[in-house]
C-alpha cells in the first residue's frame, strides 16, 4: 500500500485559500487519491477523489501533477467551520479494502 505523508497541522484565517499537500511517492498505477474530512466526535466524511490532473466539486479542488507522486487539496475561502482533520488516502478503489488512513492534517481556521 502506498504510504502518504502530510503536514501534521496548519493554521489559516477566515476567507483565505488553504492548500494541503500530500506526498505519495510509491503510488501505483491503479491507485486513486481520496481526501476525507473529520470533525471532532464524528466519523470521517468524503470530500473529493481524483486520479490525475484536476478535480473540482462544490467543496474543494484536487490538483494532481503528471507524476502523481503528490497531490494538493485546495479549500477556497475557508471559514471557521472548516476547522477539522483532513486525511489523504491512496489506494485502488476497486480493491475492496485497499484504502488506509494516515495521521492526517489538523487545520485550524482562525477569525
- Which residues of this chain interact with other proteins, rule CB under 8 A? 32, 34, 41-46, 49, 85, 87, 93-94, 96-97, 99-104
- Closest separation between CB of residue 56 and other proteins, Å? 17
Nearer to other proteins, 97 or 111 (CB): 97
Per-position DSSP letters for 30-93, written without gaps between them: T-EEEEEEE-TTS--EEEEEESSEEEE-SS-EEEE-TT-SEEEEEESS--GGG-EEEEEEEE-T
Q: Which three cell numbers stand for residue 56?
A: 473540482
Residue 107 contacts residue 6 (beta carbons within 8 Å): no
- Closest separation between CB of residue 17 and other proteins, Å? 24
CA 70 to chain CA centroid, nearest Å: 11
Nearer to other proteins, 16 or 44 (CB): 44
- Closest separation between CB of residue 39 and other proteins, Å? 10
Nearer to other proteins, 87 or 109 (CB): 87
Amino acid at each position: 500500500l502506498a504510504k502518504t505523508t502530510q503536514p501534521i497541522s496548519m493554521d489559516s484565517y477566515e476567507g483565505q485559500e488553504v492548500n494541503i499537500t500530500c506526498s505519495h511517492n510509491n503510488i501505483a498505477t491503479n491507485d486513486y487519491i481520496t481526501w476525507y474530512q473529520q470533525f471532532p466526535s464524528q466519523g470521517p466524511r468524503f470530500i473529493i477523489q481524483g486520479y490525475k490532473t484536476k478535480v473540482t466539486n462544490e467543496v474543494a479542488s484536487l490538483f494532481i501533477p503528471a507524476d502523481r507522486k503528490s497531490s494538493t487539496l485546495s479549500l477556497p475561502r475557508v471559514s471557521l467551520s472548516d476547522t477539522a482533520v483532513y486525511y489523504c488516502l491512496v489506494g485502488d478503489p476497486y480493491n475492496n479494502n485497499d484504502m488506509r488512513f494516515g495521521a492526517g492534517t489538523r487545520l485550524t481556521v482562525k477569525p
